[in-house]
Structure 1
């Protein structure tokens, strides 16, 4: 068995994840390498969900009976856990959404209806990057179309980094919002946050960070980031689907208008007008994802017990090993940084002229689960002149043996297609 410095005790960790014991295609133990799409869930999270539904299921904030008060305490307790996990100055800066996409759309829509100095209009500019997930492209395209604002973006270098050589031309006095990913879901690139935020602050622009591929894998400290908004999702960080988070600076959340209207987000309602509850409830209309928030709270507990620094160290070791092994495969081209420096645990590649979908299908027959396609980042594929990629992504339960299985599987693919 390959030994690498910095690895977690994966034998112990993997016992918490039931799906990792699955046998597929008759006799193949699953090798799950698709955590960038969604992570597996430990028993602790599954148990928390079951416990909520079996013992505490009620609507929140509305009932004075015992079970309703328990449900409210669990829901708001999850907010406390998330606030501590990201080092938020206030729990009231943590908004629960259904996913990161909704969080990013929430920001874009707030800026549509905002008063000065936050309003985006035809005389202003929006800045994104070419490496974004579609969830951080389409909302800004829609905002641009609705308001007439100009949409601009940073391009990519040949080795999968952001090209910031023209940063003063891209982020100008007209820029209202700069929104970019902390870690690319396709390239794996970890972006230079400080450089971008420093320039945005010079011109008075707001900054929104998509941390969907960062929150599960590294320490996420919103105060240290110095952004204005940070979005991430629960299902990539061993939590359930259907729960996302938007963190925003308190003064912004107080000033910006709500996106959705309905129950819970109001203070008073008459037939003529309404006033709104303070943040975060101003942005959580209707019955929220209660059970999912409870599950996310359990996920935060699980990750915190292991330690995000330890998880990051483990993943760096696995990624470094995976880069080395993949570069040994003939005709394989890594799309993105070809070293483990400043990169996350998602590795996308092409294999000669074999279509990624064929690669993924043959790997599946060996029990190896990878992602194929453009990974909701089609502009990246266009930039590098490829139709799609195969992506292997690692997490706290990934092992060097699974990397070896992937490399052996790719050799089988090459032999299969001759």
Structure 2
């Protein structure tokens, strides 16, 4: 895998496009925001439960918790949403993102959000030349929205292609047998990996490859998925850099919400993993732990067959390939179940503590100057 200086510049340009899109979107939104838009957003987030439902639906539709939380940051930045309202939507976004994991696990594909970027720009540009200032502002908002999504897609394109080069993760195999220290290490791997590739879906795919090759067990795969929840908060944190203090608090709230979840999950990690294994087996999807032992036995007893599996030299109908495919689905199902139950329990706890949580975030991210509280 070669990664040139030009690729690095393209990555930086992608981040710049994302941040610029966020800025244009936020400014256009604030200028276009009349009573109607404010009323719609207020109705969608009138209490913590409707706000959470809004976050679930939006994230499930666009299949990106990063994009939905960035939009929430921009709404807060434009003064259209309070911090308490934004927290409820972000709680819901964490549940909504599990829909993507289930779609990948069950059907093996992800909706391509880039398909609607150019049509949005096509609709937005004529509005920029309209005589009415409100229409111009709506056009700016749509242009910013499209640039933000385009930036997110380009970031994914220009980060190092780790998913196609899974062998670079083989060194992690030697750190997979250190008990709970390994769990903490692989949580960190999940954080770093998702922060770099900006996609929890791609992290899922890499983890599945690592399990299939017998490098890590199912519990360590769960640890990586746990870490990916922190990695996804990097995008909203980036977006909030150009915002006011309310936007920064929203992004910080997203980070703290996931950190809280990781702390309680690590406290009961092994029983929690066993619960998800039992649910997966109860639903008739097999034992997610079985692939680790099967592949390692195969490597020890028949290394030639083991190598043939991964260099694609076995015929398509080979029984070992069919068995591994079945075990892969079991792992994928188990990881999706782990991710879903983790987020559901986290939201169930935190939704009742929204007020307290807002006070904590306000204490951590205080306004240093009078202008910090102004909407931008």
Larger strand percent = 1
Name the TM-score, length of structure 2 as normaliser.
Answer: 0.31
